[in-house]
Amino acid sequence: MTRFSLARRTGRHVRRAGAGRRLAGTAALLAGSVAVALIGTGGTYALWNDSAVAGMGTIRSGSTAITVNGVQDYRIPTDARLLGPGHPLLSTLTVKNSGTTSVTAKVSTTSVTQTGALADNLTATLTSLPAGGSCSAGLPGGLTAPLIGYTTTVQVLPVGAVIELCLEIKMIANAGTTTQNGTATYIMTFDAVQVRP
């Protein structure tokens, strides 16, 4: 009985010693991982330190901003012009990076409401105008797509960059008679994202 009990105690001690070693090993590995992590942060923990008082300085943050024809929310005047087959509507849009960071910008229609299914039968074309160029129908080199869901690719606009765009809203060739007297209101959105420094 005594021997048996002794034997059992001895076995427990062996298992406890093994667990202790594994715990110690785990702790060592954790300590190592923390050390690696600290190395990763590039932090040093030297105890020496010093300090100096910097002069009063002003820190200014930059800004990201984009404007269309000088404002953030531009209302395109229609001048009572009416749309029809062969009667497109033209607008010149001046897009400017008015912030202090370079941006990538893209254009998309984010809202379209309509009557008479007019918008369903419209296309939009955005064409970059050369310096001094005028906005006219059928300019080559533009991106033409249905007005609903219109999206351009992104383009980099450096700080202060100005792009002149010709916007042509046109009725598709086979637009039906039901589109007569229809209306459409659309919001063309210019989204700018700061270029990663």
Partner 1 sequence: MTIRFRLAAILAICGFLVFASTGVSYALWTARATATSTIAAGNIDVSQTGFESLQYTFAPNSRVRGGELTIHNTGTLGASYTAVFTVADSTSFAAAVTVQAWVKPDGGSCAIARASITGTWASMPPLTGTLDAGTSTIYCLSTSVSAPTAAHAGSVTPAVTVTSTLGGWSTIAGPVRVTQNTK
Shortest Cβ 161–partner 1 spacing (Å): 13
**Residues 125, 144: contact at Cβ < 8 Å?**
yes
Q: How far apart are CA 37 and CA 26, in angstroms?
A: 16
Selected binder of partner 1 within 125, 142, 166, 186 (CB under 8 A): 186
Task: Tell me: does residue 150 bind partner 1 (CB under 8 A).
Answer: no
Site string for partner 1, 69-108 (x = CB under 8 A): x-xxxxxx-x---xxxxxx-x-x-x-x---x-x-x-----
Residues 106-135 that bind partner 1 (CB under 8 A): 110, 116, 118, 122
- Gyration radius (Cα) of the chain, Å: 34
Q: Does 63 bind partner 1 (CB under 8 A)?
A: yes
Shortest approach of partner 1 to residue 152 CB, angstroms? 13
* Under 8 Å between Cβ of 122 and 168: no
**50 or 73: whose CB is closer to partner 1?**
73
Can residue 156 be called a binding residue for partner 1 (CB under 8 A)? no
Amino acid, single-letter form, for residue 152: T
How is residue 180 written in tokens? 């007569």
Backbone angles phi, psi at 196, to 5 degrees: -60, 125
